[in-house]
Structure 1
Amino acid sequence: MSPLIDLLNANSPSLWLEVSPPRGISSSALLKRLAALSGHVDAINLTDNALGKIKMSGLVFGAAIKQQLKIPVVLNMSCRDRNRFALTSDLLGAAALGIDAITALTGDKIPPEENGRTIPAHDLDAFGLLKIIAALNRGDTGEGKAPLKTIPSIVAGAVANPNRKNIEREYELLERKAAAGAKFVITQPVFEPETARRFIARANQFGIKTVLGILPVKREAMANYLIERVKDLSGARPHLDRYAGMGEEEVRAFSIRENMALMAELAGEVAGFNIMSGGGPSLAIELALQFSHWRKEHRS
């Protein structure tokens, strides 16, 4: 089992940074930026073509992170872009490359026609992917053949939205994901402690570790986009409205202060934090470094 699980069980919260792989074929610039996090974060969480925007394979970029930076990798895997055969093959590849954990996602809901192309139908959802991971951990590829000679040990996770208005439905889904084998859950960003506490308490009942999503806001336009376009965050509007009329530097400073205060308040209650880069890693890296220093001071 990955040491990431031990860290999620530790007294001090684990710290992850979520980042998208590069858009093209060159990874050196992003790897150089992420190198500053060595010794500060416990894992890099890689997105998987989020919002249907094509990026470098997370398997390839994750392998480069592990080889060059020696930082553990949590790989998001979306069912939206692959059938069950491709998903199983990628899971075996992830295990062979030493990827530390897989987060199973059904995938963003994208209109059938986007940018002149057709989005393929889902073969599986997150529950089906979790079942495949559990089967592979038993050595079963689903082909009805002899078990694998070398059995992988894939740590599985899931995602959830603590901001959902019908929160009981979200808890039902989370319970099913835990039953299917999820060991941790990465949440959509939270902005105030009570929403986080209610979610953590319910996740604990299901025996699943919570890694809270933390989203630093870069500018007023980003806050407006989240209000207008991301319905999963409709419950966070009172927080996001506070950025109205602020200049970019004021927004960045305010967001760092607010998120540091939130993380410090919840540090003794949550298994970990997943700081989201939201289109660019600079502010997320700054927040991660600040919280890492805070965490080291409060461990002693």
Structure 2
Amino acid sequence: MLEISGLTWAVTIGLVVALLALDLVLAAVRPHRIGFREATAWSVFYVGVAVAFGVWFAMTYGGDFGTQYFAGYIVEKSLSVDNLFVFVIIMTTFAVPEEHQHKVLTFGIVLALIMRAIFIALGATLLSLFSFMFLLFGLLLVYTAVQMFRHRNEDPDVEDNAVIRSARRVLPITDEYVGGRIVTRVDGRRMLTPLFIVLIAIGSIDLLFALDSIPAVFGVTEEAYIVFAANAFALLGLRALFFLVKGLLDRLVYLSMGLSIILAFIGAKLILHWAHVDLSPSVPEISTPVSLGVIVVVLAVVTVASLAKTRSDPTAKAHAGSLRARKHVAADQERGGA
């Protein structure tokens, strides 16, 4: 059992908040198009911070907990790349100007951290009280993996969202972005800008990803502190990673397939753990080092295979994957089968 003092929690949260504040200040003070060199520098910085934290954590609390942290970080980082696909779709769908994308992403990361902190606290409480939650989390991940595999060649329909449709119907929203503002005045009337709709879209996507990623990381560690740290440091680098790889995302054609395999594997790991605890100690469990190895190998194979595929077939294009079929795709399939 990992014993984390209140001071360590406070310092960790303070570091995360400070880094978020830095992003927010930069986005507000100097809105601009993020270039490749700047994105690379920030990406290296955030990965360096995450690795440095992991080294300190392993030296302070032991190699086993350090391995759990790095396994959780890699899981969250790989899932965050899929998150980037959806961010790209949102930015494109709502035609967000490049100079304001920095601000949108930073707010999206803040929303994601808040939601995941809530789910981490809830998940840790449920797991400590009811061991069968490991079974439920495992089944949720297996279901998610199956759905993502089935719809791996699709993208989520961002605008087909009840909250967004309602907001467009009920709220006064301008046609144009107004200098990156969320609220503005037109002829003396207070109105919202399309940036508000973008933030709603990002927030709803963050909620869906939290529902998947929190059970996934609990599959490699039961420690709430490690789950929080892995999520926080993976998300902090998301803004810079977006600008670094958004031109390369289309080449990761097998990423959704790889993520579905990882989620199914972690789901099976959780189910085995539940069976080991509640049914029989003779049921084997999957260790954290094995989990880390499987995750790294799957990601490596997926990346190499994706690059080879796009080199041999330049028309091949990656998709974020979806948990349900888009309506027009389903309708086309029904007409085709009739």
Bigger-Rg structure (1/2): 2
TM-score w.r.t. the length of structure 2 is 0.24
Would you tell me which structure has more strand in proportion to its own residues?
1
Would you tell me which structure has more helix in proportion to its own residues?
2
